Structures are given as structure tokens and as C-alpha cells.
Structure 1
Amino acid sequence: MSKFNKKKSGDLPPVSTASLPDIVFMLLFFFMVATVMRDDEMLVENQLPAANQVEKLEDKNKLVNIYIGKPGVNYQKTFGTSDVVQLGDKISRVDDVYNYVNTKRSAMPENLQDQMMVSLKVDRNAKVGVLTDVKQELRKAQALKITYTSNQGDPMNNIKRR
């Protein structure tokens, strides 16, 4: 009998999992930093009109978004098919615009409250009546800096051809 045993050929050493938690935490940190969260879930149809004089806004933390359009397909049973106003993540009445804007203003840092702008994202097929009512509520709330969001393009494409 021999004292020495031959080593079995082809055996692999076990994989070390000591660095696995470090890799998992690096990936978690990367995705937390790199992921952009969506601001609002769209509950209304929002096909923006085209414009050729478009200017990109730099500071989006001063913006308060208000969406106007017909309710999405999933919400037409509840809200009908006429134009509605979306404030944040819910469809609201026009009367709620005043409180919504003031709540958003008070949540901003004090140095940005005077620079707050309201971004109206109005569907290209929306009626002007709801937009006018929203603008009246914005006047009551002293939110006088208003921008209209649009896509870059030829404004003649906005005209319905019959």
C-alpha cells in the first residue's frame, strides 16, 4: 500500500462567494443613482401640439405640471369623455387647481417660491374652455408665470384638415 494518493484530475476548487455582497451593493447603488423616477402617471390623453419656437427649460424643480385632455381609455367610464384636468397623479376638478398650486408652492424651498412656473401640458384636441378656467384659477393663486409645453415641429400640422 502506498502512503500517497494521486490527486483526482479535473476537480475544480469551489467558487469563493466572499465578494458577492460587495457586488450586489455596488449594483444596487448604481441603479438607485442612475434610475430616473417618472413624475406623474398619465391619466389623460396628452398628445402635445407642435411648435417651431420651442425653448427648453433648464430648471425643472421650479415647475408645477398641470395636464388637460380627455381621460384615458381606462378612466372614461368614471370621468366621461369630456376634457378633464390632471393634478399630480389624479384627475381633479378645476376648482382644485388653486389649492394644488399653493400646496406645491409651499413645498418648494423659500428661495424658489417666487420663481415657480406652471407648465400647462394641454392635449392638441382639448377645448379652450377648460384651459381658460384653469388659467382663471392660476390667476387667483397668483401663479402668473405660465409655460405651454409642446413638441418641436411644424405648427401647421396642428390644424385639423376636413
Structure 2
Amino acid sequence: MSKFKKKKGGELPPVNTASLPDIVFMLLFFFMVVTVLRNNELMIKNELPKANEVEKLKKDRSVFIYAGKPSKQYQAKFGTEGKIQIGDKFTDISSLQFALTEAREKLRPELQDRVVVALKVDKETNTGLVTDIKEELRELNMVKIIYIAAPGSELDTK
């Protein structure tokens, strides 16, 4: 009698699934931590003008100002004139300084002096509204302004 027995079949052992729930929960927590949710609801019509040379903007030190006519769902409440939106609420020229100061304070302390204002202006917006915004920015000494545009050329016809 031999001490070692020969296996009768070449079958593979079953796969151990004991650690499968741990892996699933680890992936679930990973995606919950990494996912960035949109924090602003756009309340205006924002069809950006097109530009040939477009660069990516670092969002860690920027404050976004949206300008344009209210979208259709907000026109009954706010009218059809051009509006300014910072964050999730409309603001007017008289309270723009307060809204910008509040938005600046939300940034990290070391970036508050070097804030960049990103203007996302609808291409059909009145130029006077943009001029008023720029004057208020000058009074707050926020002179670094970037105009956000869509890639492409206005001359291209599709």
C-alpha cells in the first residue's frame, strides 16, 4: 500500500468567494469618496461663444460668474432680462460685491489673494452687463479675469 494516492480526476477546486463582499464594499466606498457631485444648478441660458485657443482652467482658485438670460423655467419668475448668477442664486449689480466676497472666502486661505474670476457669459448677453460686472471686480481688486469659451470658431458653419 502506498502512502500517496493518485488523483482520479483533473478537476479544479472551486473558487473561494468568501472575500467577494469585502471587495464589493471596498469598491463602493472608493467610488463614494472619489465621485464629485455638481454643486451649482445653472439657472441661466449659457451658450458660450467659440474661441480658437482654449486652455484648461484650474478650479481650485477660481470664482465663477455666470451671466445671461434666465432659462425658460425661470423666466416666469425672473423675467427675460440678463441676470448674474454666482453659485446657485441670482444676484444683481448692487449686491455683487457681497456675493463675490462670500465666494472668495470659500476658497483656501492661501489662494484668497490670488483669486481668478471666470466669466461664463452667454453669447447673446448685453455688453453693458459685462461692463458693470468688470467695474465691480475692479472695486474689489479682483483684476484677474478669464472669459470661458467653447472650443471652435464662430466662422465655421455647420
TM over 0.5: same fold? Answer: yes
Partner of 1:111, secondary structure, is helix
1:101 aligns with 2:103: no
Contact 1:49 1:155 in 2 (8 A): yes
Q: CA deviation at 1:18?
A: 7.0
In structure 1, distance between residues paired with 2:135 and 2:55: 25
Q: CA deviation at 1:100?
A: 1.5
Paired residues in the alignment total 142
1:51 aligns with 2:41: no
After TM superposition, the score normalised by the length of structure 1 is 0.78
Give the letter for the 2:108 counterpart: P
Contact 2:65 2:85 in 1 (8 A): yes
Unaligned ranges ≥5, structure 2: 1-16
State the identity as a percent.
47
In structure 2, distance between residues paired with 1:136 and 1:157: 33
Matches within 5 A, 1:80-159: 80-156=79-155
In structure 2, distance between residues paired with 1:123 and 1:72: 11
Q: Which residue number in structure 2 is paired with residue 38 of structure 1?
A: 38
Q: Which residue number in structure 2 is paired with residue 68 of structure 1?
A: 67
Unaligned ranges ≥5, structure 1: 1-16
In structure 2, distance between residues paired with 1:131 and 1:148: 11
Identify, as 1 or 2, the structure richer in helix.
1
In structure 1, distance between residues paired with 2:156 and 2:129: 22
Alpha-carbon RMSD:
2.2
- Per-residue CA distance 1:77-114 (angstroms, 9 max, x = gap): 01111110111001111222211111222232222112
Contact 1:63 1:117 in 2 (8 A): yes
Partner of 1:118, secondary structure, is strand
